[in-house]
Amino acid sequence: MRHILVEIVCRNCNYHSHIKSHTLVNSQLEPELKERIVQGTMFRYQCPCCHTVIAFIHSFLYHDNEQKLLIGMDLKEQTITALKDQHPDSQLYLVKDPEQLREAVNITADYLRLDAITRLKKQLIKQDASIQKVIYHDYDRENQML
Ligand SMILES: [Zn+2]
């Protein structure tokens, strides 16, 4: 519900544009924005001139009130401190980029614990040296499979 203006310069044709981008999404109130995070379209913009897809990043907070969960991306230290004060009963997770944000939202949307999945991912990587990266995709409830 809060926005910032992001200046975007196309690396292909040098076209300058300003776009309005969300800095805060509430998963219960704005399911359509949550969907955009999951689809990976939230931090992407198509140049109106040459149609190059441009990825961008800025400070962002995802708030799931129901699960008492905050997921922050690219937050300043003082913002993190303030959030912990404002939401003492919520869990705050920090992610580095839209890809991690997307995965974290996916995990919590399936009502799984982020810290447990993170541990599981680390274990999988430790167990097999040929695995470099593990990305959570979805949860097959019926077959109890991740
Ligand atoms: Zn362009």
List C-alpha distances in Å: 74 to 30, 62, 89: 21, 12, 22
What is the CA(6)–ligand 1 centre distance, in A?
A: 16
Question: 79 lies in a domain?
Answer: yes
Residue 1 clears pLDDT 80, i.e. is over it: no
Distance of CA 14 to the CA centre of its chain: 27
What is the CA(16)–ligand 1 centre distance, in A?
A: 8
Query: What is the residue range of 73's domain?
Result: 2-112
What is the CA(8)–ligand 1 centre distance, in A?
A: 10
Number of structural domains found in the chain: 1
Which pLDDT value is given to residue 20? 95
Question: 59 lies in a domain?
Answer: yes
- Spatial distance between the Cα atoms of 118 and 96, rounded to a whole number of angstroms: 14
pLDDT average, residue stretch 89-95: 94
Tens of pLDDT along 2-46?
A: 899 999 999 999 999 999 999 999 999 999 999 999 999 999 999
Residue 127 clears pLDDT 90, i.e. is over it: no
Residue 49 clears pLDDT 90, i.e. is over it: yes
What is the CA(116)–ligand 1 centre distance, in A?
A: 42
| DSSP E strand boundaries for the chain | 2-9, 16-26, 44-46, 53-55, 60-64, 69-73, 91-95
Global confidence as pTM: 0.86
**Which residues share a beta bridge with 64?**
69
Q: Both tokens of residue 90?
A: 């919520």
